[in-house]
């Protein structure tokens, strides 16, 4: 899997750090093949290495998804391996909370995974642990990776476990680092994982490298003396109905056994016990037991009805109270809403007082196609949220002009034929301009002149 050290950061400008307002904006760039190629240009060496060293791992969408493969085991189970790229946003260190896999990449991988057919186990691999990703994407991952085993690394030490909550269940296992050379300051560790369907368990065996002896040994400091076992994706062994919790099933069986022979019931206590005829006696005991069970069942039903009545009475009281409270709150909200609108209007007016408009020189470019119109002339004004940011904006005008010319020259007659296409162009320029500024200092932009000839 690609790690943060597989990204050649020297091919990017210092200011070229991916920054998105939300997941929708990020997905928009990943979906665009041209933008994606620019974002991934620092991983070119890694992609070439994977093609030559691991040709059986076929990447999807020009390296967006490293691989989606399925393998059949000797025990007849099918395991799916899905690799994801969590490093394409890495530009600086530290970058915790500033990188993302991207929902588009996850969906693309899952689509390829579903085309593989049914599997018994799903394993997903990516370099960074989920806690390293955007907070928004951590929740998205929980939704997509339910019933999945996640394998990651990055933090140079083994960690993880089994998690089950209201959002679902998954296993996350974080590997230690195995380094080239024994003199590394980081301890060299690895572990291997065994999936046992007969025992419904996942077993981890931990190993570490001892520098003095120059060999790998059991890592007794990790897990339970170098071993840790979890239920296989939360599949717990169901206890027998005859077994009490915490009690061995064999211990729950009575030492006496009853057998039926020629219509009579005989009790056998052990090999040395004598066989005693019990047909009539056991019949009497059986009838008495049925009567007691029937009385107990009726008593239980009576108690249940009383509890149900009390429960409904409490719920109806709570609903009546809440309805009265909501009605009074709605009246208060109507009053507060008018005041809030007035406050928001004043804030917006105050914000507009501090903002300024800066106009760029006219842009004249050739359109990308040979349609009715050949040239495009555009005059753009940017709205800066505060006057204090004007100096920073002015310093980065050359970068702005460069990216705007690239975007405008890629337009065609068809893409600009209606208002929808021009609004899309406007949003794209504003998005890239905000990325160049590095701070959220741009409120909006305006086309003050838009001519096609």
Percent of residues, the chain, with pLDDT higher than 90 = 18
Model pLDDT, residue 7: 92
Lowest mean pLDDT among 48-57, 264-273, 317-326, 425-434: 264-273
Per-residue pLDDT for 350 more than 70?
A: no
Model pLDDT, residue 258: 34
Percent of residues, the chain, with pLDDT higher than 70 = 76
Model pLDDT, residue 237: 35
Alpha-carbon torsion angle 119, 125, 129, 135, nearest 10: -70
Nearest to 137 by CA among 33, 24, 59: 24
pLDDT grade for 449, boundaries at 50, 70 and 90: very high
Q: What is the DSSP letter of 375?
A: E
Nearest to 146 by CA among 128, 173, 165, 126: 165
Per-residue pLDDT for 28 more than 80?
A: yes
| Per-residue pLDDT tens digits for 90-109 | 988 888 888 899 999 999 99
Question: What integer is the mean pLDDT of 320-341?
Answer: 65
More confident residue, 332 or 130: 130
d(CA 123, CA 3): 18
Nearest to 119 by CA among 169, 69, 56: 69
Strand-pair category, 121-125 with 148-152 = parallel
Cis peptide leading into 94, omega within 30 of 0? yes
pLDDT grade for 352, boundaries at 50, 70 and 90: low
Distances in Å between the Cα of 375 and the Cα atoms of 145, 289, 366, 371, 380 are 49, 97, 5, 10, 16
| Per-residue pLDDT tens digits for 241-284 | 333 333 333 333 333 333 333 333 344 344 433 333 344 434 44
| Full-model pTM | 0.52
pLDDT grade for 335, boundaries at 50, 70 and 90: low
Model pLDDT, residue 285: 42
d(CA 147, CA 163): 10
Domains of the chain: which residue ranges?
4-234, 356-452
Residue 4 phi, psi dihedral angles, 5° rounding: -65, -25
Burial 347-383 (b: 16+ CB within 10 A, else e): eeeeeeeeeeebeeeebebebeeeeeeeebebebebb
Number of Cβ within a 10 Å radius of residue 286 = 10
Burial class (CB in 10 A: 0-12, 13-18, 19+), 225: exposed
Model pLDDT, residue 185: 65
User: Please, where are the H alpha helices in 131-181?
Assistant: 135-144
Kindly tell me the sign of the dihedral angle through the C-alpha atoms of 309, 311, 313, 319: negative
Burial class (CB in 10 A: 0-12, 13-18, 19+), 90: buried
Six token digits for residue 204? 């981890």
More confident residue, 10 or 277: 10
* Run of H or E residues at 261: strand 257-261
Question: What integer is the mean pLDDT of 103-121?
Answer: 89
Residue linked to tokens 């995974």: 113
Burial class (CB in 10 A: 0-12, 13-18, 19+), 301: exposed
Question: What integer is the mean pLDDT of 338-351?
Answer: 61
d(CA 405, CA 407): 5
Average pLDDT over the chain reads: 78
d(CA 18, CA 99): 9
Model pLDDT, residue 245: 37
| Per-residue pLDDT tens digits for 175-199 | 877 665 556 666 788 888 998 988 8
d(CA 50, CA 66): 9
> Which fold would CATH assign to domain 356-452?
Tetrahydropterin Synthase; Chain A (3.30.479)
Distances in Å between the Cα of 278 and the Cα atoms of 17, 254, 273 are 86, 17, 14
| Per-residue pLDDT tens digits for 378-422 | 999 999 988 888 888 888 898 899 999 999 989 999 889 889 899
Contact 443, 355 (CB under 8 A): yes
Lowest mean pLDDT among 3-17, 135-149, 339-353: 339-353
Model pLDDT, residue 252: 33
User: Please, where are the H alpha helices in 61-216?
Assistant: 103-114, 135-144
* Run of H or E residues at 40: none
């Amino acid at each position: 899997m690609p790690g943060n050290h597989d990204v050649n950061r020297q091919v990017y400008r210092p200011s070229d750090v991916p920054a998105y307002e939300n997941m929708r904006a990020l997905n928009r760039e990943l979906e665009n093949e041209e933008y994606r190629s620019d974002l991934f240009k620092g991983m070119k060496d890694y992609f070439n290495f994977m093609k030559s060293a691991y040709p059986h791992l076929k990447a999807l969408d020009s390296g967006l998804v490293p691989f989606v493969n399925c393998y059949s085991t000797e025990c007849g189970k099918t395991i799916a391996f899905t690799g994801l790229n969590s490093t394409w946003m890495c530009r600086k260190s530290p970058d915790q909370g500033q990188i993302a896999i991207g929902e588009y990449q996850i969906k693309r991988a899952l689509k390829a995974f579903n085309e593989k057919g049914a599997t018994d186990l799903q394993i997903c691999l990516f370099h960074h642990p989920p806690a390293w990703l955007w907070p928004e994407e951590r929740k998205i991952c929980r939704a997509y990776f339910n019933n999945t085993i996640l394998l990651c690394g990055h933090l140079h030490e083994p960690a993880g476990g089994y998690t089950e909550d209201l959002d679902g269940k998954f296993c996350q296992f974080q590997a230690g680092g195995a380094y080239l050379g024994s003199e590394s300051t980081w301890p060299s560790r690895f572990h291997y994982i065994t999936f046992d369907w007969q025992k419904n368990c996942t077993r981890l065996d931990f190993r570490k490298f001892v520098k003095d002896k120059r060999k790998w040994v059991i890592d007794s400091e990790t897990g339970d003396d170098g071993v840790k076992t979890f239920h296989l994706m939360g599949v717990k062994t169901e206890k027998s109905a005859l077994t009490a919790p915490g009690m061995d099933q064999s211990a729950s069986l009575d030492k006496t056994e009853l057998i039926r022979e020629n219509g009579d019931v005989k009790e056998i206590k052990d090999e040395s016990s004598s066989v005693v005829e019990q047909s009539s006696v056991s019949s009497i005991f059986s009838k008495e037991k049925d009567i007691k069970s029937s009385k107990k069942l009726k008593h239980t039903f009576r108690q249940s009805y009383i509890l149900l009545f009390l429960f409904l009475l409490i719920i109806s009281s709570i609903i009546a109270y809440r309805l009265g409270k909501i009605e009074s709150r709605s009246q208060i909200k109507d009053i507060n809403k008018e005041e809030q609108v007035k406050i928001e209007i004043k804030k917006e007016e105050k914000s507009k007082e501090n903002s300024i408009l800066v106009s760029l020189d006219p842009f004249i470019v050739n359109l990308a196609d040979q349609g009715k119109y050949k040239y495009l002339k555009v005059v753009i004004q940017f709205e800066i949220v505060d006057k204090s940011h004007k100096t920073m904006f002015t310093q980065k005008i050359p970068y702005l002009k460069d990216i705007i010319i690239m975007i405008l020259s890629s337009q065609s007659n068809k893409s600009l034929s209606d208002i929808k296409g021009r609004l899309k162009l406007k949003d794209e320029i504003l998005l890239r301009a905000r990325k160049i500024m590095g701070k959220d200092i741009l409120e909006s932009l305006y086309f003050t002149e838009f001519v096609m000839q």
